[in-house]
Structure 1
Amino acid sequence: MRGNPRTYLGVAAAVCAAALLAWVTARTHPPARTHAPGKTGAVSPPPVHAGFDYQIGGPYTPPAGVRVVIRDHQASPAAGLYNVCYVNAFQAQSEAEKEWDADLLLRDSAGKVVYDDQWGEALLDLRTDAGRRRVAMKVNAWIDECAAKGFNAVEPDNYDSYTRSRGLLDAADAQAFITLLSGRAHADGLAIAQKNTAELAGSRRKNGLDFAVTEECGRYDECGTYADAFGDHVLDIEYSGDGMARACSRWGRRLSIVRRDLAVSPAGSGGHLRRTC
């Protein structure tokens, strides 16, 4: 071989340095676990028919008998319990709308942002694969944080936002997006919930969803739809006395059911309400 010996030595040194860097990176940043959507063997859904509390309005000491708790992703999990991490995945929290790129907010033909009328939250634009992936980058970062904190599962809220999009989004958009989130959750070792959206419960395996978190399935007579799809892996929150009575009378021996005040206020604050079957 002809050439400058210093060149050969430099190349050899560079190769060695690259190999060392690769070894250090592998030790300090191991590859993420992979888990195909629809296969739930590597993750565990919440225990069935368990004491349950919904604490997304603010964390507090879980009452006696509670085994499953849902808290916002900014909170810490409750020690010794099964913890579900809440993220608002399909809409922008009203106080955090400016944290999203303007072109990721769903807009109508006049260029006006489309809002959820009940909560005043901007819907996220999930109409294209590129847009869905950009939104998923932010939401998946929250999912990673949930895993790092020690949560067991994640609850992406507003799966049904397409029904409030004035026809701009459809069920296919929602399902394409949720599969991006379920893939990341499973790679992080987290189970992932379907939130409400009874009409898509039958597609839960295709979309990689492990259990259901429902609001008022008793009031709207939807608990059976979720139980058919998810078995007894259903966490139900009721906000009215009538809904609670219906849920408990029919499903109280199978599902995890709690009644909360609509604002899900922390214990000790005004308006806090929590009841069980």
Structure 2
Amino acid sequence: MRERVRVRAVLTSAAMVVVAVVGLTGCAAGSASGEPSRAASSYANLPTSGIPDYQLGGGYTPPAGVTIVERDSTDRPAAGKYSICYVNGFQTQPGDADTWLDDHPSAVLRDDDGKPVSDPGWPDEMLLDTSSAAARSTITSVLTKTIATCADRGFDAVEFDNLDSWTRSHGALTRAGNLALARALVDVGHEHGLAVGQKNTPQLGASGRKSTGFDFVVAEECVQYQECASYTKAYGRHVIDIEYSDTTERSWASVCADDDRPAMTILRDRDLVTPSHADYVFEHC
């Protein structure tokens, strides 16, 4: 996560919405050469156009024309839409903190005093420890159950949030450790027939795709922060971008007219509220 305001709704037992990307299907086994497994058929069919909706603040009937919907792993996919399942892959969900501490204490990053390290922007989320193979194995085992649930419920793809957790770990975590966990999670997603998306982290450039096997990317505010090229150079048109109405400094028409923006770009309100709320915003190019 960059040092900036970022949206991620607090996910509860109530269903949240995941970005569904039209047309991600298939799976692939890991290659004998040791390269990251690739969902070859699903990658070939990834959508390069369509209208996404990002509903993590609460699920609702997608607006007319929407073809891609993202919802939380606790929710069900939107009927008739290409569906992406949201999983917090590198930090704990607020409601899951006690479970991690009680059942998987070695997988939670600790400071020198043995206290869990929290995301400064989301203090109710603890960073998972990607620094050792043993901890990464535990995290992968726990999240495999969530990934399997996404597949069983009919999602087409999964994206793992907080890939950039090493940047707020005060040096305790490394990029290499996070990418090693990402590679393991991508393999599990592909084994369950899901395409797998990178979340944010433009500083990876093309290495995110090359070293992990990610199939697409879900970016937040890449137009606002002039980061879109970092994603499109690696993933071409397989990029979904969500801009937020409280920080967009241009007219929406000018954003849509920008040749550098991803084809699948939408505008949402910061809290991702449902249409019944006065602050609801949804626009698309």
TM range (shorter): 0.7 to 0.9
CA-based RMSD of the aligned residues comes to 1.9
Is 1:188 the counterpart of 2:192 in the alignment?
A: yes
Unaligned runs of 5+ residues in structure 1 are 1-31
Report how far residue 266 of structure 1 moved: 2.2
Report how far residue 161 of structure 1 moved: 0.8
SS at match of 1:182: helix
Aligned positions, number:
246
Query: Structure 2 CA distance, aligned partners of 1:251 and 1:141?
Result: 40
Give the match for residue 40 of structure 2: 41
Report how far residue 271 of structure 1 moved: 2.7
Q: Contact (CA 8 Å) 1:49, 1:256: kept in 2 or not? A: yes
Instruction: Provide TM-score, normalisation by structure 1.
Output: 0.83
Unaligned runs of 5+ residues in structure 2 are 1-26
Q: 1:111 aligns with which of 106, 109, 114?
A: 114
Q: Give deviations 1:24-44, integer Å, cap 9, x for gaps.
A: xxxxxxxx9734425331324
1:153-164 to 2 correspondence within 5 Å?
Answer: 153-164=157-168
SS at match of 2:186: helix
Q: Give deviations 1:83-136, integer Å, cap 9, x for gaps.
A: 000001100112221111233211111212111111221101111001001011
Q: Which amino acid aligns with 2:276?
A: G
Report how far residue 190 of structure 1 moved: 0.5
Instruction: Provide TM-score, normalisation by structure 2.
Output: 0.81
Give the match for residue 237 of structure 1: 242
1:4-23 to 2 correspondence within 5 Å?
Answer: none
Q: Which amino acid aligns with 2:64?
A: A
Q: 1:135 aligns with which of 134, 139, 144?
A: 139
Report how far residue 212 of structure 1 moved: 0.4
Query: Structure 1 CA distance, aligned partners of 2:179 and 2:222?
Result: 21
Larger radius of gyration: 1
Q: Normalized per residue, which structure has more helix?
A: 1
Is 1:211 the counterpart of 2:216 in the alignment?
A: yes
SS at match of 1:107: coil
Among all aligned residue pairs of Structure 1 and Structure 2, give the percentage whose two residues are the same amino acid: 40
Q: Give deviations 1:142-170, integer Å, cap 9, x for gaps.
A: 11111111111001000011111111101
Is 1:75 the counterpart of 2:75 in the alignment?
A: yes
Distance 1:254 1:124, change over 3 A: closer
